[in-house]
Amino acid sequence: MAFNFYMPDIGEGVVEGEIVAWKVKEGDRVTLDQPLVEVMTDKATVELPSPRAGTIVKIHYKDGQICPVGQILVVIDDASAAVSAAPEPAVHDGKPAGKPEHARTAPAPSPTRPTATAAVTASGSGGGAIQVVDATTARARVLATPATRRLARQLGVEIGKVPPTGPHGRVTTEDVRGFRGNGSPPAIARPAPVHAPIAIAKGGDEERIPLRGMRKRIAESMARSKQTAAHFTYVEEIDMTELVAVRERGKSRAAERGVKLNYLPFIVKAVVSGLKKWPQLNASLDEQTQEIVRKKYYHVGIAAQGPNGLVVSVVRDADKRSIFDLSREIDRLGDAVKAGTATREDLTGSTFTITSLGKLGGVLATPIINFPEVAILGVHKIEERPAVRDGQIVARHLMNLSISVDHRLADGWDAAMFVQDVKALLEDPTTMFMEMV
């Protein structure tokens, strides 16, 4: 009998996933736990295994299409399990036809013939265990963030009764407040789009590549950051001569411990020290509750180029790590990104991001904030340049730092003072160790 495999919950707050690549095709025989499909969300990329052994009857979403959580992803004939005889939805541009935009939950199961669903525990592309659990109990899927659910509990509102107005059937805090106020759904007021989609006319010999996968996620993330955060950038020159000497002296000691020592761990340490003095830069704005969230933990994101595009890996609890420990962790994360084995834990939860292109870092850039963080620090190349010291022109190892900051939460003074603190530690590394940052 046909078994409906629904797009499962891959992580808190995830409402949809993009189909990256199917590992099977219609008519294929599959075994239990055989990889079926690679799915990308805004959290991570995961491989979904088959919850049943059987034959692939129908694939509802093609590569590059978006499948909302709770919609039928694939039908498997396992010759035993019975499911409700729901008609196959027609698919147009990755969305079931004939359904309004907000009706994106799984079809309601009949009382006597429960619908089979699935839940996934995933930790990212190639990393961690992905467990598919067959659940045959009835469910009512409500899409809402934890903050919205908390508000509903506080107001005594049964969230399942609140008509959603958010994207893909998501219940928003405004929906909850409106329902609490009059017991009826609030009027739908959708913001106007920033601009209409722009069509590019053909002008000659050209190649057209679908915007999907990691490139699409990067595009969406960058656009959201620029449209939401009020960016400004501050730049300062750093004399790295003393730190260059310290690193040279420490390279052999690091090698004895199997560590390849570079400058990034020192920069991370200096950044953490600065964040402790200027906590408004280690924060986020909770737009739903209108609260500034100052974080007292220091998970430093390292933005670097991966095989499929820009990736931010996360050094957790950077304030509690030594220089050598930071080196090991940064190397581990870099290797995992290159190999495609980085877990969800490796790629989410940063509180402040450092972006560096190493020797390709150039002289200056205006990095885009890793939303919803408050700031991002751009690290540029170190090179010998002439500098004036004590009235003499001498060769020094100089580097520029550029910081982009969300002006909604921090001012120019905050950014400048933060960078000056980072500068002081990098220019005189002995003070870094004295402060035990």
Q: Hey, what are 119's tokens?
A: 């839940």
Which residue among 102, 231, 397, 407 is the active-site one? Answer: 407
CA 201/CA 321 separation, integer angstroms? 53
Q: Per the structure block, which two tokens stand in for 91?
A: 């698919």
* Residue 89 neighbours by CB distance under 10 Å: 15
**242, exposed or middle or buried, with CB in 10 Å at 0-12, 13-18, 19+?**
middle
CB atoms near residue 334 (< 10 Å):
17
CA distance 259 to 257: 5
- Is there a contact between 217 and 371 (Cβ–Cβ < 8 Å)? no
Say which amino acid occupies 237: E
Instruction: Give the C-alpha separation, 188 to 183, whole Å.
Output: 15
Tokens 């002289």 correspond to 363
Task: List the beta strands (DSSP E) in 100-241.
Answer: 117-121, 131-135, 143-144, 170-171, 231-239
Name 274's Cβ contacts closer than 8 Å, sequence gap at least 6.
281, 418, 419, 421, 422, 425
Q: Which two tokens stand for residue 287?
A: 């737009």
Strand positions, DSSP E, 65-126? 66-68, 72-77, 91-92, 95-96, 117-121
Residues paired with 202 in a beta bridge: none
How remote is the C-alpha of 401 from its chain's centroid?
24
Is 407 catalytic? The answer is yes
Residues annotated catalytic, as ranges: 407
